[in-house]
Chains A and B, each alone.
Chain A
Amino acid sequence: MTKLIQYLTLLFLALLSASCGSDTKRTTLDLENTDWETLVDSTSGKTVNFMMWQGSPVINEYINNYVVPTVKERYGINLQISGGQGPEIVQLVIGEKQAGIAQGQVDMVWINGETFFQLRKLDGLWGPFVDKLPNSKYINFEDPFISVDFQQPVNYMESPWSISQFALFTDTLHVANPPKNLEELERFVKENPGTFTISNDFTGMTLLKSFMAELGGSPKSLDGKFDQEKYDRLSAKLWDFINRNKKYFWKSGETFPKEQTKMKQLFASGELKIAYGYGEGGIEENVRSGLFPNTVKGYAWDNGTIKNSNYLGILQNAPQKAAAMQVINFLISPEAQLKKASPESMNANMVLDIDRLPEAYQKLYAKTKTRKYGPSMDDLKEHVIQEPAPEYMIKLYEDFRTAVIEK
C-alpha cells in the first residue's frame, strides 16, 4: 500500500511539473502599431473561434449560413462557432488564466454588460481595438446606449453588434389590456393565476431591473454607480412584491423556467399569457416560424424597459487577434448589419448610425421591410431605461435564488 501512495505522489508531481513548462510563444505581430491593410493581409487561412449563445434558430441560421461562408469566401477565415454565454465564457477565461494558457481556446466572444464587467475584472479582454476597425466609422459612439455598457464606458474594448430594447408581449386575442405597471400586474396575476413567470436567466433578471426602477420611482432611479443601500431598499420591496404574488405565478411560483426559450415555449402552448424579451420582445421570428399565433403583439411598460447594446470582444489570450478583428469588422459592416436587421433574418436592430452610411446602403435600409408584429425601437423610445450597473444584475441573480426560489 505504501508503494502505491509513493507511486501516486510521484506521478502527480511529475504531471504538475511537466504541465507547468507548457507555455507557448506569444504571437509576434505587433497589432497596436500595424495599419489595417498589413494586419488583414495576415489573416487568410486562419481559424477564428467564436463563442456565442446558440439559443435561437434565427441567430444560428444567420451565423451558420451567412457569416461563416462569407468570411471564408472573402477573407479565407475559418470561423468556428462554439456554444457558450456569459458564465461559460467567464469560466473558460478563469480556467485558462489559472493554468497560464497563452494561446486560448477562443478568440472572440459575444457578450453584454455583466460579462464585460467580469472579464474586465479578470483582465480577460484584449484591446482597445474597436477604433482600428474601418467600419467603426459608421458607429455613433456619442450615443450613450452604445458607448456605455451597464454604466461602464466601453472605451473601444468591445465592439457593439446589436442594440435592442426589452419589451413585453401578449396574445391580443386573449388579453386586450395587458398590465403595464406593477399594480396592474398584481391585479392581472390574481385574475389569471398561473399565466406569468420570471425566467431564471438574463432575460428574467432584466425584467426585475425594470421592476426595481419602477419601485424606485422613475426610469432613472437606478442610474449611476452601484449603490448598496439603494439596492437593499429596492430589492426588499421587489422580493416583497414577488413573494406576495408568486402563488399566482406559473406553477404557483414554486419553480421558475431556467431559460427564456423555455418561457417562450410555455407562452406558445398557452400556459403563459404574458412573456417578454430583448429585441423588443423578439416575437417577429416566432410569429413567422409559426410558434406564436399572429395575434401576438409586443408592448411597452409604463415606467420603461431596459435598452442596451450587446457586444463582440476579443480575449486577451486569443491566438488569432487580427483575424478576429477582421471578422468583427465584417459583422459591423453595413452589408452584414443590414442583412441581420431584416425581419426575415435575425431581425436585430442595426448598431450603425443610418446617417453615416454610404447612400446606397441608406436606400437599401429604407427598403428593408418593417416588422409586422413586434414594436420597433422607435415605438418604445418614450419608455426607456438605461442599463444599471452590473452589480445590480449579479446581486439580483444571487438574491432571486435565495429570497424567492429557495423560499
Chain B
Amino acid sequence: MKILERPLLKNKTSATGILLFIVLGVLPFAAAFIYALLYSFGLVGVISSGFTTEFWVSVIKTGSFFKSLGYSAAIAGIAVFLSVVIALWLTLKFKSALENKFILMMVYMPLAIPGLATAFFIIQLLAKGGFLSRISYASRLINESNEFPDLVNDNLALGIILAFLTMIIPFFMLLFLNVYKNERIEDLRILAYSLGATSRQVRNKVVLPILLKKTRVLIALYFIFLLGSYEVPLILGQESPQMISVLVIQELKQYDLDKIPEGYVVAVMYTIIVAIAAVFLFLPRKREQYV
C-alpha cells in the first residue's frame, strides 16, 4: 500500500490533478447526495422540524418509487433490447452498404437530434391530431381523430420507447460497425467458414458473441441513461406512473410544502441504485471493453 501511494505524493502536479479531480468530479456529487439525504430525513429545509423517518416510511408505503422504478426499468429495458436487436440486424444486413459515405452519414444524422426535439417531433407525428392521423383521416381510414390509436402519452409508453429507439439505434449501429472493424470480425468469419461452419453457426457462435461481449458495458450504460432520462418522458409520458426523473421533479415542485422531502427520498433511493449499478459495471477489472 505504501509503495502504491507514493506517486500521489511524490509529484506535485499529480497531487494537484487528483485534488482538482476530487473538487470538480467527486465533491459536487457527494454534496448533492448528502444534501438530499439530510433533506429526506427532515434535517434541512425551511419547514424542517428535526429528524424524522416519516417521509421514508410514506414513500415506501405508497410504493410510488418502486412503481416508478419498475416502470422506468421496463421502458429502458425494452428500448435498449429492441435497439440492440435492430441495430445488430441493420449493421449485419447492410454492412456493405454502410461503407458508402452517404449511407454512413444517414446513420450519423439522427445523433444531431436531442431528446427534446425527438419528443416534439413524435408528438407532431403520432398524436391524435398529428400528421399520421390527418393522413389516416384523408384516406378515410378513420372518421374522427378519436379513432386514431393511442401512441403518445399512452399506457404502454409507446411514444417514449419509439423516441428512445430513434435516439439510440444509430448510436449502437456505429458502435457495432466499429467493433466489427477493430476486432477483425470479418477475418474471423472467413476463417470460420473455411473451417466448415454454416452461416448460422458463424453468426451465433462467432459474430454475435464477440459484438455483444465487447459492448455489454456500454449497453448497460445506455440502460442507465434511459432510466434517468427526463425530457422525453416529460413530454411523451402519462401522468401515472411516471419515469423516475419526472417523478422526482414533480415531488419537489408540488403544492403541498410539507411533502417536499418525499421528493428527496426518491432522489436518494434513485442515486443509491445508480451508484450500485456503477460499482458492478466499472469496478471489476475488465479487459478490452468499449466504454
- Chain A residues with CB under 8 Å of chain B are 3-4, 7-8, 11-12, 15, 86-88, 90-91, 94, 97-98, 114, 118, 121-122, 194-195, 200, 251, 254-258, 265-266, 268-271, 393-394, 397-398, 401-402, 405-406
Q: Is the CB of B27 within 8 A of A266?
A: no
Q: For B5, B44, B62, B128, which residue has the most chain A Cβ atoms within 10 angstroms?
A: B128
Which chain B residue lies CB-closest to A114? B255
Using Cβ atoms and an 8 Å threshold, which residues of chain B touch A90? Answer: 255, 257
Q: Is the CB of B146 within 8 A of A271?
A: yes
B195 to chain A, nearest CB (A): 49
Q: Is the CB of A255 within 8 A of B257?
A: no
Interface residue? B54 (CB, 8 A): no
Using Cβ atoms and an 8 Å threshold, which residues of chain A touch B111? Answer: none
Residue of B46, B127, B129 touching A97 (CB-CB under 8 A): B46
Binds A, one of B18-26, B89-97, B98-106, B275-283: B18-26
Q: Is the CB of A398 within 8 A of B129?
A: no
Q: Is the CB of B22 within 8 A of A406?
A: no
Residue of B27, B45, B129 touching A269 (CB-CB under 8 A): B129
Residue of B22, B45, B253 touching A11 (CB-CB under 8 A): B22
Using Cβ atoms and an 8 Å threshold, which residues of chain A touch B133? Answer: 269
The distance in angstroms between the C-alpha atoms of A200 and B259, with both chains bound, is 18
Using Cβ atoms and an 8 Å threshold, which residues of chain B touch A405? Answer: 239-240
Instruction: Tell whether A270 pairs with B145 under 8 Å between CB atoms, given A8-B30, A98-B45, A405-B240.
Output: yes
Residue of B46, B153, B253 touching A98 (CB-CB under 8 A): B46
Interface residue? B52 (CB, 8 A): no
The distance in angstroms between the C-alpha atoms of A251 and B5, with both chains bound, is 62
The distance in angstroms between the C-alpha atoms of A264 and B207, with both chains bound, is 52
Contact with A along B140-169 (1 / 0, CB 8 A): 000011100010011100000000000000
B58 to chain A, nearest CB (A): 12
Q: Is the CB of B26 within 8 A of A8?
A: yes
Residue of A194, A256, A270 touching B239 (CB-CB under 8 A): A256
Q: Is the CB of B129 within 8 A of A265?
A: yes
Instruction: Tell whether A98 pairs with B44 under 8 Å between CB atoms, given A7-B19, A270-B129, A397-B254.
Output: yes
Interface residues of B in 12-49 (CB under 8 A from A): 19, 22-23, 26-27, 30-31, 34, 44-46
The distance in angstroms between the C-alpha atoms of A11 and B133, with both chains bound, is 57
Q: Is the CB of A255 within 8 A of B240?
A: yes
Q: Is the CB of B146 within 8 A of A122?
A: no
Q: Is the CB of A266 within 8 A of B252?
A: no
Interface residues of B in 227-271 (CB under 8 A from A): 238-241, 252-257, 259-260
B177 to chain A, nearest CB (A): 39
A323 to chain B, nearest CB (A): 27
Q: Is the CB of B23 within 8 A of A11?
A: yes
Instruction: Tell whether A270 pairs with B23 under 8 Å between CB atoms, given A94-B260, A401-B240, A406-B240.
Output: no
Q: Is the CB of A3 within 8 A of B239?
A: no
Interface residue? B116 (CB, 8 A): no
Using Cβ atoms and an 8 Å threshold, which residues of chain B touch A393? Answer: 255
Task: List, sorted by A's number, 9 A–B pairs whose CB atoms are closer than 8 Å.
Answer: A3-B5, A8-B27, A11-B27, A98-B45, A118-B255, A255-B239, A398-B259, A405-B240, A406-B241
A102 to chain B, nearest CB (A): 15
Q: Is the CB of A87 within 8 A of B146?
A: no
Which chain B residue lies CB-closest to A402? B62
Residue of A12, A194, A254, A397 touching B30 (CB-CB under 8 A): A12
A183 to chain B, nearest CB (A): 24
Q: Is the CB of A397 within 8 A of B22?
A: no
Q: Is the CB of B8 within 8 A of A88?
A: no
Instruction: Tell whether A87 pairs with B128 under 8 Å between CB atoms, given A8-B22, A271-B145.
Output: no
